[in-house]
Every structure is written in C-alpha cells, then in structure tokens.
Amino acid sequence: MRDMDNNAHSVYLLYYHLVMVVKYRRKVINDDISERAKEIFEYIAPNYGITLEEWNHDMDHVHVMFRAQPRTEISKFINAYKSASSRLLKKEYPKIREKLWKEAFWSQSFCLMTAGEAPIEVIRKYIESQGEKHE
C-alpha cells in the first residue's frame, strides 16, 4: 500500500481523477498549450493543498490525477484554476481566439472521480466484515 499523507490530526490518502473539457469541445490543445496549462495547475495547486500526480491531454480535454487533503475545497480550486488558466492561455496563445473568440477556454462542467488503490467492492466487504467474530 502507498505511503499515507498526514497532518497534525489525521492520516489520509485522497486521489482524484479530473477531466476538464474545452468549451464546445473545440480542438485547441496541443503539447505546448497542455504543458502551459499543467504549469498553471502546479502553480495554483499548493494553495489548495493539492499535489499533481499525472497529466495528459487530447485535443479537446485534459485528464489530471491529483492528491488532496481533507481540508481541500476541490470545487473552489477547480473554479480558480479554470478561471486563471483560461485567462492566461487565451492571452499567451492568441490562436486560441480563432476557435474561442469570446468564450471561456474551459467548459463550465467537469468530471471528477475519486480514485484509490482498493476497488469499491473490496472496501465494502472490508467494512461489512468489521465487528464480526472470527474464530
């Protein structure tokens, strides 16, 4: 099992898989834009107790795996990230404006899933077995 994160009062291991889609699924993400978007993520993330683990992209969306802390306000982080990165990417890569001339860079919606080492059914069975007397 992976080493746990901890703070003064708790031990935890919180992984998330985030998918963010470009507005109208416009195909504007190339390697340079993805790398810059990742840099912005890594710059903002520590302020929210988030650590980037993996990043990859397609032309119209990015996949991100990150770790968080129990105190992390994930939706606030995602909104702050999308706002800052949208502004910076459109400013630094003017070609984006040809496909997103007035709109935000990211779609308002996103997909966020928890991710962990043990499958849900394994955890469910473990919890169900607690308190049972094994002889």
Which H or E run contains 72? Answer: none
Cα 77 to Cα 109: distance, rounded to the nearest angstrom: 14
**pLDDT score at 135:** 53
Q: What is the pLDDT along the chain (135 residues), one digit of tens a residue?
A: 567 777 778 898 899 999 999 999 999 999 999 999 999 999 999 999 999 999 999 999 999 999 999 999 999 999 999 999 999 999 999 999 999 988 799 999 999 999 877 777 887 887 788 776 555
**pLDDT score at 2:** 63
Question: Both tokens of residue 31?
Answer: 């390697």
Which H or E run contains 114? Answer: strand 106-115
pTM of the model: 0.86
Residues 6+ positions from 18 with CB-CB distance below 8 Å: 63, 64, 65, 66, 78, 110, 111, 112, 113
Residues 6+ positions from 93 with CB-CB distance below 8 Å: 32, 33, 36
